[in-house]
Amino acid sequence: MGLSKRSFTLLELIVVIVIIGILATLGFTQYGGYKEKTLDREAQSNLLLILAGERIARLESNTSSYAGPANSNTDVNTLLRMLLPTTNPNWNYTITGVSATSFCAQAVRNVTAGRSFHILAPTLAVPDPQPASGSCP
């Protein structure tokens, strides 16, 4: 009896497994970077929502001063009637620097130390959230 023409050799199977392994390695290394970029965008959009919530609170209370301060996601939710995650959140949000003319909201990453964003809003223009080091200025 001869070898069947339908079977794969061991060498062919090993080559296929090596190629799949290389592709998987490349995919996993790229995945972490994409995930962190997505989480950064989450923080930036939530900071813009917090700013919008602050402005709505000022309009509803008919005052020129900002609401606040808030030291946790739960405090921000209560103060601004938002629904930020409170159990296992990706980011911790705080509102500081609260006065009639000063407002700063900050997002600090729970997992990666040193990653944070803040938004300053003393003007009517909507600012972009900026990377921050430390607390709000």
Nearest to 45 by CA among 110, 97, 114, 119: 119
What are the start-end ranges of the H helices in the chain? 10-61, 73-80
Q: What is the pLDDT of residues 15-53, one digit of tens each?
A: 999 999 999 998 888 888 888 889 989 999 999 999 888
> pLDDT by residue (tens digit) across 69-95?
888 999 999 989 899 988 889 899 988
- CA-closest candidate to residue 126, choices 55, 69, 57: 55
Half-sphere exposure of 70 (CA within 13 A, CB side): 28
Which pTM value belongs to this model?
0.75
Phi, psi of 49 (to 5 degrees): -65, -40
Domain ranges of the chain: 11-132
